[in-house]
Amino acid sequence: MNALLGLIGGLIFGFGLALSGMTDTNKVLGFLDITGAWQPALIFVMGSAVAVTAVAFRFVLRREQPLFDADFHLPIKRAVDGRLLFGAAVFGIGWGIYGYCPGPALTALIYGQTDSFLFVAAMLAGMAISSRLTR
């Protein structure tokens, strides 16, 4: 069930990404371009997603355990540190350079653009370098 739920979750997430416009780099860069011809629509993607999670997570976390696992696997870090803020700022730079964040970059592989595959390969390389450096 655990694995099946992973698949169903991925299907819904990927469908949502493609529907929302997040897999369109032109729309994403237009959204980030607030001083240019700003395209504000994508604010509704995160807005409506967070509206759902902020309400539903509270009910889910009242449970002793999830349906198909013994425990909730929640982030344990609480402290805000320089590494978090620096890493997030670096991620934003990459997002602004090409217009893909990790989820849409993966879903966009279905469009068959060579540059999308290269983006994902470079992203994995960046993750590997980061993990090596911070170990």
User: What residues from 23 to 52 belong to the interface with another protein (CB under 8 A)?
Assistant: 23-27, 29, 32-36, 39, 41-52
Instruction: Map residue 126 onto helix, strand or coil.
Output: helix
> Is residue 135 a contact residue for another protein (CB under 8 A)?
no
Question: Mask 102-131, x = binds another protein (CB under 8 A)?
Answer: xx-xxxxxxx-xxxx-xxxxxxxxxxxxxx
Smallest separation, CB 37 to another protein (Å): 9
What interhelical angle do 82-98 and 25-32 show, nearest 10?
120
**CB distance 21 to 31 below 8 Å:** no
Quote the CA–CA distance of 51 and 23 in Å, as a whole number.
21
**63-102 residues near another protein, rule: CB under 8 A:** 63, 65-69, 71-75, 77-80, 83-102
Smallest separation, CB 86 to another protein (Å): 6
Structure tokens at 39: 């395209």
> Is residue 62 a contact residue for another protein (CB under 8 A)?
no
**CB distance 109 to 117 below 8 Å:** yes
Smallest separation, CB 21 to another protein (Å): 6
